[in-house]
Structure 1
Amino acid sequence: MNFTSQDKEQFIAKGVTNEKVLEQIETFKEGIPFVNLSKAAVVGDGILKFSDKEEQELVSYFEKYRLQKDLLKFTPASGAATRMFKALFTFLEVYNAKEQSLDVYIEKNNDKAVEAFVREIKDFPFYKDVKTRIGDNFSSEGEEVYAFVQELLSEDKLNYGFFPKGLLPFHKYKDQIVTPFYEHLREAALYAKTNDVAKLHFTISEQHQEMFLEKEKQVAEKVNKETATSFVVDYSFQKKETDTIAVDLENKPFRLKDGSLLFRPGGHGALIENLNDKSADIIFIKNIDNVVVQEHLQAVADSKKILAGFLLKVQKKAFEYASILDNDKVDDEQMNEIRLFLKEELNVRFRNGFIHLGKEEQLSLLKEKINRPIRVCGMVKNLGDPGGGPFWIKDYQENVSLQIVESAQIDTSNFNQAKILQNATHFNPVDLVCGVKNYKGEKYNLLDFVNDKQGFITEKTKEGRQVKALELPGLWNGAMAFWNTIFVEVPTITFNPVKTVNDLLKTAHQPK
C-alpha cells in the first residue's frame, strides 16, 4: 500500500511507523477471532476463596512487609461523564414542560431512569447546589425538573457532562460534598502508603488536566490532615502513538474531507504503555468511578490488603524458584517442584508433551513461564452486571490459560460458548494488584506480555460515513494476556461503579 508524503508526515507527528499502520490494516482484513472459552473459572477451579482466618493472616503478612515496598495506586480516570448522564440528555431533547406534565412524559416514554431520578432527587449530592441556582419560581414540577437538569448539564451552566467522572460530586457528608478523586486519596491512605506517603497515578484526558490539578490543590492538604498522609500524585495522558488507523468498510484507510488519515484512540488497552512507565513493587489498579462512602472504606481497604498479601507470598516463592532456575545445577526433583508450583499456585497449564521434552527444553519453558509479571485479581459474585469475567481459555495452539474475558470477545451464537458464559459465577470488577518486577528487582517490559490478537473491531460514524475502528487489547484483557494470573473472590462492596447518575443513589454511595 502506498502512502503519500502527507501521510508519512502524519505518521511522524503521531509517532507511529508505516509498518505499524500496515499491521493494523491487516488486522482489519483478517478480523479478530473470538476467544475460545474452555470453561468458566469458579471457586475451586481458577478462583480462590479464603477463610476469615486466612484473610487475617494475609492482611498481617501485607502489613509486615509493606514498609519494605514501593506502593502505587494506578487509576484510569480519562473518561468524561457524558454517558453517565445519557438519560438526562435525552430528557432535555425530548421533554417540553408546556406541552405535557412530567408524569405523562414518564408514562408515555416508559422513562424509568428519569422517574427514579425525580423520585429521589433530594438524595443526590449536587441537589442543594443546583436548587440554590435555579430557585423556586416554577409553575409545574415538570418545569422545575427540566430547569434542574438543564442547570446540571448545559455548557453555559454546571456542564457536568463535560466533567471527568473523577471530579463530579459523588458523596454528600454532613460537612462536605466530595468527588471520587477525594475518595481515592482517602482510600490510598489506608493501603497504598509507605512511611506516611501515598503515591497515586491518574491517567486523564489532556483537556481535564487543569481541572485535576486544581482539585488536587483544593483537597490534598485536607485529606493529609484527615489521614496523616502526604500524597504524591502524578498524571499521564493516553499516548498519541497508541492511536490506531481507521478504515472504511472495504478496509481501506479512512480519509477525512481534508485528505488526512483518520486515527482514533486505542481504548483503555493503550494504558498498558502508561502502566509500563511505572516501576513500583506493588501496583493497585482500580477504576476512578469505583469508590464507596467512608463507612465502607475499611472493608474495601482490607480486601486490597488481602490481595496484596497474597501477591507478596506467591511472589516470594516465584522469586526463589526463578533464582534456582538460573542455577545450572537445578535437579529433576526441583524442576518438578517448580512445575507443580506454576500449575497449582500460578495457574500455569503445560501441554501434555512437557514430560517428554529434554531437560534443557523443560528448563527453558519453566524459566519462560515463571519470569512473568504477576497479577492477583479480585472477582465478585456475578450479580447480572454486563461485562467481563474470569475464564479458562484455549488458544489456537491448544494452550490453556486463565484470562479476564469481555462478553464482546465471545461468540454467543455458538451454543457451547454461550452456555459457558451463562454458567459463569463471577464478574470482573477491575480490582488488580500487580507485581511487575523480576526476582532481581528489574521491571519487566510489560509490552512483551501483550496478546495483540485480542483487540476489538467496532463500527462508528465519521462525517456521515461508516468507519471501522480498532481498539487495542483491553488493559486487563489482552494487554495482560501473558501475565501469571490469580483470581480471588472479594466482597461485593468492593464493586460500586457509577455508570449512570442514578447509581449514586445506591447504598454504597449514600452515607447513613
Structure 2
Amino acid sequence: MFTEKDYQQIAKQGIPIETIQQQISHFVNGFPYLKVLKAATVGDGIVRVEENELEALVKAFDAQADQVSLLKFVPASGAATRMFKALFAFKDEGKSDKSIVEFSERLRDFAFFEDLQTIMSTEGGAIEADMAAGEFRKIADYLLTGKGLDYGNLPKGLLKFHAYPDGARTPVEEHLIEGTNYANSGGKVRIHFTVSPEHRSRFEALIDAVKPLYEDKFGVVYDISFSEQKPSTDTISVNLDNTPFRNADGSLLFRPAGHGALLANLDEQDGDVVFIKNIDNVVPDSLKETTFTYKKVLGALLLNYRQQGFDFQKRMESGETSDALLEELTHYFEKTLFTLPPAGFETSSSAEKLAYFQQKLDRPFRLCGMVQNVGEPGGGPFWASNPDGTTSLQVVESAQIDMTDAAQKALFDTATHFNPVDLVCSLRGYKGKKFELMKYVDINTGFITQKSKDGKDLKAQELPGLWNGSMSDWNTVFVEVPLITFNPVKTVNDLLRKEHQS
C-alpha cells in the first residue's frame, strides 16, 4: 500500500505507522456507534446551582484562586470564512437574501464599520456615497478581500466584534478582559491561544499592541502563549475504495483532524483549573458579569469535587480498607461523579472494589456547562455505556449515534440541554501529578466525512472530538449554566444581535 517515499513522508509528518494503519482500519470498518441510555437532565446527571448558592461558590473560588494554578485555554485557529458565506455569494454572484438586506441596512452597526470606512477612503472611495448608491457588492469586496480588510481570510479572533467609545475590540481582547476576572491568580493571568501557523504573527502583533494597555488598566500581568495544531495530529485521506488518496505529485494527502487534534496542545499545558471556551463566544462588557459568575461557580465546584477525590486517595494510601470507605466511595461516584460500575461489581471483593475506585479516581476532572437546548447544533449530555462496562456522563454528537436505530434516535431527540463548549478542567491529580491526557481518549469515537480535492472525491477522518471522545475517560460532571453565557458568532449578522451590540 505504501512506498518507501510514503514511509519517509509519514515519518516527516511525525505520525507512527501504527496510527496510520489504525486510521485506514477505521476507514474500512467505520467507527462503532456509542450506546446512549438516556439523556442527562436536571436532577439526573445535570447539576443545577440555585440562585442562593451562587455567592458562596464565587467567594469560595476567589478564596482559592491565588493558591492554585489557573489557565484560560482558547481554541482560536478557526477561519472566519463560513461567517461570510452568504456575503461571498453576494459579492461573487450577486445572490441576495434576507441576511444581505439586513447586512446592508445595518452596516453602520458593525464594530468594523469605521475600519472599513477608513480603508475605502484611503483607496479613493467613500463608503457613505457607495451605500447611498447601493454599491454593496463593492463594499463587500473591500470587507472580504485583500483589497480592503481581508476579513474573509482572517480567523475570527482578529475581527472587530464589539464597539466601545474608546474603540472596537476583537475576541482576543475580550478574552484578555475575561481572563482578568476568573483566570487571575495573584495578579497573573495565563491565557493560551491555539492559532493557525499562517496567522500566528498577526495574533502576536495584536497581543503586543494591546497587552500593555490592559495590564495597566486592570493591574495584572498577562502570560500569553500560543501553539499551532501539530502535523502529527493530521489524519491520512483515502479514496472511496479506502486506498490512500494521492496529490497530483503522488504524495499522500494529510488533513487537519478537527478540534480533537487540540488535545495534543492541551496536553502540553498544566493547571489546577483550566477554563476552555471558544474564541467567538464572547460578549460586550455589559453582559460579562453572568459569565464571570458562572465561570467561578464551575471553578469552585471543580475544586470541591476534586478535593473530595484527593481525600479518598489519601485515605486509601494510608491503608484504610473499611466498609465505610467503600460505601462513601460508591456514593461519591454514583451521586457526585455520576459513574456507575460494571455489572457484577457488587459481588467483587473489597480489594477489587478499592482497585476499581483507585483507577477511577486517578483521572482528569472536568465540569461541563450545559445550556438549555434551543435548537443549536452541538453535542448533548447523555448517560452512555463505556467500553469498560461502566456507565457515565458523556458529551455526545449526533454522528456518534446510530440514527437508523429508532430507539437510539428517539433517545437522542429527548436531550433538554447541549454543550456550548464551556468546560472547566483540572489537568493535575493527587499530589500535583500532571496527567498524560492521551491515555484517556476513546479512539473509537472519531468521524468520517466525505470531501473532495482537485475534483476527486475522498474520505477524511476527524479525531475524537476534544470535549467528547478525547475526554471520554475523564471524571465528568454536567452543570446547568444560563443561556446568556452562550453567544457564538456563526454568521456576520450574529454581530447585530443585541447580545453583541454594546
TM-score bucket of the superposed structures, by smaller chain: over 0.9
Report SS of the residue matched to 2:32.
coil
The residue type paired with residue 74 of structure 1 is F
Report SS of the residue matched to 2:74.
strand
Report SS of the residue matched to 1:451.
coil
Report SS of the residue matched to 2:179.
helix
The residue type paired with residue 86 of structure 1 is K
Counterpart check, 1:418 vs 2:409: yes
Deviation at 1:291, TM superposition (A): 0.3
Tell me how large the CA RMSD over aligned residues is: 1.5
Looking at structure 2, the residues matched to 375 and 440 of structure 1 have their Cα atoms a distance apart, in angstroms, of 18
The aligned residue for residue 304 of structure 1 is: 295
Deviations 1:236-266 (A, max 9, x none): 0011111111111111111112111111111
The answer to whether the Cα contact below 8 Å between 2:378 and 2:420 also exists between their aligned partners in 1 is no
The aligned residue for residue 145 of structure 2 is: 154
The aligned residue for residue 483 of structure 1 is: 474
Report SS of the residue matched to 1:89.
helix
Residue from 104, 116, 123 that aligns with 2:102: 116
Question: Are the structure 2 counterparts of residues 137 and 478 from structure 1 closer, same or farther at C-alpha, using a change threshold of 3 Å?
Answer: closer
The aligned residue for residue 16 of structure 1 is: 15
The aligned residue for residue 357 of structure 1 is: 348
Counterpart check, 1:469 vs 2:460: yes
Looking at structure 1, the residues matched to 423 and 386 of structure 2 have their Cα atoms a distance apart, in angstroms, of 24
Deviation at 1:136, TM superposition (A): 5.0
Looking at structure 1, the residues matched to 361 and 403 of structure 2 have their Cα atoms a distance apart, in angstroms, of 34
Deviation at 1:219, TM superposition (A): 0.8
The residue type paired with residue 406 of structure 1 is E
The answer to whether the Cα contact below 8 Å between 2:428 and 2:435 also exists between their aligned partners in 1 is yes
The answer to whether the Cα contact below 8 Å between 2:233 and 2:261 also exists between their aligned partners in 1 is yes
Deviation at 1:323, TM superposition (A): 1.9
Question: Are the structure 2 counterparts of residues 115 and 329 from structure 1 closer, same or farther at C-alpha, using a change threshold of 3 Å?
Answer: same
Looking at structure 2, the residues matched to 14 and 140 of structure 1 have their Cα atoms a distance apart, in angstroms, of 49
The aligned residue for residue 173 of structure 2 is: 182
The residue type paired with residue 399 of structure 2 is A
Report SS of the residue matched to 1:404.
strand
The aligned residue for residue 444 of structure 2 is: 453
The residue type paired with residue 206 of structure 1 is P
Looking at structure 2, the residues matched to 32 and 224 of structure 1 have their Cα atoms a distance apart, in angstroms, of 48
Deviation at 1:8, TM superposition (A): 1.1
The aligned residue for residue 101 of structure 1 is: none
Question: Are the structure 2 counterparts of residues 422 and 161 from structure 1 closer, same or farther at C-alpha, using a change threshold of 3 Å?
Answer: same
Deviation at 1:377, TM superposition (A): 0.9
The answer to whether the Cα contact below 8 Å between 1:342 and 1:370 also exists between their aligned partners in 2 is no
Residue from 248, 259, 272 that aligns with 1:257: 248
Question: Are the structure 2 counterparts of residues 366 and 256 from structure 1 closer, same or farther at C-alpha, using a change threshold of 3 Å?
Answer: same
Looking at structure 1, the residues matched to 128 and 328 of structure 2 have their Cα atoms a distance apart, in angstroms, of 77
The aligned residue for residue 56 of structure 2 is: 57
Looking at structure 1, the residues matched to 378 and 103 of structure 2 have their Cα atoms a distance apart, in angstroms, of 24
Counterpart check, 1:389 vs 2:380: yes
Counterpart check, 1:441 vs 2:432: yes
The aligned residue for residue 116 of structure 2 is: 130
Report SS of the residue matched to 1:300.
helix
Question: Are the structure 2 counterparts of residues 136 and 247 from structure 1 closer, same or farther at C-alpha, using a change threshold of 3 Å?
Answer: closer
Question: Are the structure 2 counterparts of residues 223 and 9 from structure 1 closer, same or farther at C-alpha, using a change threshold of 3 Å?
Answer: same
Question: Are the structure 2 counterparts of residues 292 and 356 from structure 1 closer, same or farther at C-alpha, using a change threshold of 3 Å?
Answer: same
More off after superposition, 86-95 vs 415-424: 415-424
Deviations 1:82-131 (A, max 9, x none): 11111100111111xxxxxxxxx64xxxx122122123222111123323
The answer to whether the Cα contact below 8 Å between 1:373 and 1:438 also exists between their aligned partners in 2 is yes
More off after superposition, 25-34 vs 283-292: 25-34
Count of residue pairs the alignment pairs up: 497
The answer to whether the Cα contact below 8 Å between 2:127 and 2:139 also exists between their aligned partners in 1 is no
Looking at structure 2, the residues matched to 396 and 340 of structure 1 have their Cα atoms a distance apart, in angstroms, of 22
Deviation at 1:396, TM superposition (A): 5.9
Looking at structure 2, the residues matched to 418 and 192 of structure 1 have their Cα atoms a distance apart, in angstroms, of 39
Residue from 193, 196, 214 that aligns with 1:202: 193
Deviation at 1:489, TM superposition (A): 0.6
Deviations 1:152-204 (A, max 9, x none): 01223211111111010000011201100000000000010111110000000
Question: Are the structure 2 counterparts of residues 154 and 4 from structure 1 closer, same or farther at C-alpha, using a change threshold of 3 Å?
Answer: same
The answer to whether the Cα contact below 8 Å between 1:131 and 1:148 also exists between their aligned partners in 2 is no
Looking at structure 2, the residues matched to 290 and 496 of structure 1 have their Cα atoms a distance apart, in angstroms, of 5
The residue type paired with residue 14 of structure 2 is G
The aligned residue for residue 33 of structure 1 is: 32
Counterpart check, 1:501 vs 2:492: yes
Q: Structure 1 vs Structure 2: percent identity of aligned residues?
A: 44
Deviation at 1:387, TM superposition (A): 1.5
Report SS of the residue matched to 2:430.
coil
Question: Are the structure 2 counterparts of residues 137 and 372 from structure 1 closer, same or farther at C-alpha, using a change threshold of 3 Å?
Answer: closer
Looking at structure 1, the residues matched to 17 and 131 of structure 2 have their Cα atoms a distance apart, in angstroms, of 61
The answer to whether the Cα contact below 8 Å between 2:91 and 2:138 also exists between their aligned partners in 1 is no
Segments of structure 2 that go 5 or more residues without pairing to the other structure are none
Residue from 305, 326, 331 that aligns with 2:322: 331
The residue type paired with residue 113 of structure 2 is Y
Looking at structure 2, the residues matched to 181 and 140 of structure 1 have their Cα atoms a distance apart, in angstroms, of 30
The answer to whether the Cα contact below 8 Å between 1:204 and 1:235 also exists between their aligned partners in 2 is yes
TM-score by length of 2: 0.96
The answer to whether the Cα contact below 8 Å between 1:348 and 1:369 also exists between their aligned partners in 2 is no
The residue type paired with residue 50 of structure 1 is V
Counterpart check, 1:87 vs 2:86: yes
Deviation at 1:424, TM superposition (A): 1.1
The residue type paired with residue 52 of structure 1 is E
The residue type paired with residue 152 of structure 1 is L
Deviations 1:28-84 (A, max 9, x none): 111012222211111000101111221111111111111100100000000111111
Looking at structure 2, the residues matched to 396 and 92 of structure 1 have their Cα atoms a distance apart, in angstroms, of 50
Counterpart check, 1:191 vs 2:191: no
More off after superposition, 8-17 vs 322-331: 322-331
Deviation at 1:141, TM superposition (A): 5.2
TM-score by length of 1: 0.94
The aligned residue for residue 211 of structure 2 is: 220
More off after superposition, 319-328 vs 211-220: 319-328
Looking at structure 2, the residues matched to 394 and 502 of structure 1 have their Cα atoms a distance apart, in angstroms, of 40
The aligned residue for residue 98 of structure 1 is: none
Deviation at 1:393, TM superposition (A): 1.4
Looking at structure 1, the residues matched to 415 and 133 of structure 2 have their Cα atoms a distance apart, in angstroms, of 43
Looking at structure 2, the residues matched to 147 and 444 of structure 1 have their Cα atoms a distance apart, in angstroms, of 53
The aligned residue for residue 159 of structure 2 is: 168
Looking at structure 2, the residues matched to 196 and 203 of structure 1 have their Cα atoms a distance apart, in angstroms, of 23
The aligned residue for residue 286 of structure 2 is: 295
The residue type paired with residue 9 of structure 2 is Q
The residue type paired with residue 8 of structure 1 is Y
Looking at structure 1, the residues matched to 127 and 351 of structure 2 have their Cα atoms a distance apart, in angstroms, of 80
The residue type paired with residue 129 of structure 1 is D
Question: Are the structure 2 counterparts of residues 196 and 258 from structure 1 closer, same or farther at C-alpha, using a change threshold of 3 Å?
Answer: same
Question: Are the structure 2 counterparts of residues 142 and 423 from structure 1 closer, same or farther at C-alpha, using a change threshold of 3 Å?
Answer: farther
Report SS of the residue matched to 2:84.
helix
Looking at structure 1, the residues matched to 129 and 455 of structure 2 have their Cα atoms a distance apart, in angstroms, of 40
Looking at structure 1, the residues matched to 274 and 127 of structure 2 have their Cα atoms a distance apart, in angstroms, of 49
Question: Are the structure 2 counterparts of residues 6 and 330 from structure 1 closer, same or farther at C-alpha, using a change threshold of 3 Å?
Answer: same
